[in-house]
Amino acid sequence: MTIEELVVKYLNDNLTGGIEAFAETPENPASKYVIIEKTSSGRVNYINSATIALQSYAPTMIDAIKLNEEVKAIMDNMAVLPEISKAAFERDYNFTDPNKKQYRYQA
């Protein structure tokens, strides 16, 4: 299983309120959803690492912020999986998508 598949599955197993995570934007997305994107990866001493961007979409800025906080809390615990040895938060910020005219936060 790829890291992208693992993150999508982990988020979908833990997100509340019927919110789903995807590796790409679905054709007809719900009003709130999460997109994951691997932005880089590496390997040192046979240990793989990856940087994952998590984009939380919602109809209002406050909802996007709240979803972002939920996603960060879920990801903080991802190291409970046997495939993951460490999960670390780097930063988050407003990443509103002007093309889709949707509020988005990225962590």
pLDDT tens digits along 64-82: 999 999 999 999 999 999 9
Average pLDDT over residues 51-59: 96
Q: What's the confidence (pLDDT) of residue 60?
A: 95
Q: Is this prediction's pTM over 0.85?
A: yes
End-to-end CA distance of the chain: 23
Distance, in Å, from the CA atom of 30 to the CA atom of 58, rounded to the nearest integer, reads 9
CB-based contact 36:7 (threshold 8 Å): yes
What are the structure tokens assigned to 56, written together?
């939380």
Confidence band of 100 (pLDDT split at 50, 70, 90): confident
4, with CB counted inside 10 A (0-12, 13-18, 19+), is: middle
CB-based contact 21:15 (threshold 8 Å): yes
Q: What's the confidence (pLDDT) of residue 71?
A: 98
Average pLDDT over residues 73-94: 93
Q: What's the confidence (pLDDT) of residue 101?
A: 82
Average pLDDT over residues 5-28: 97
63, with CB counted inside 10 A (0-12, 13-18, 19+), is: middle
What are the structure tokens assigned to 16, written together?
């509340």
What are the structure tokens assigned to 37, written together?
């994107």
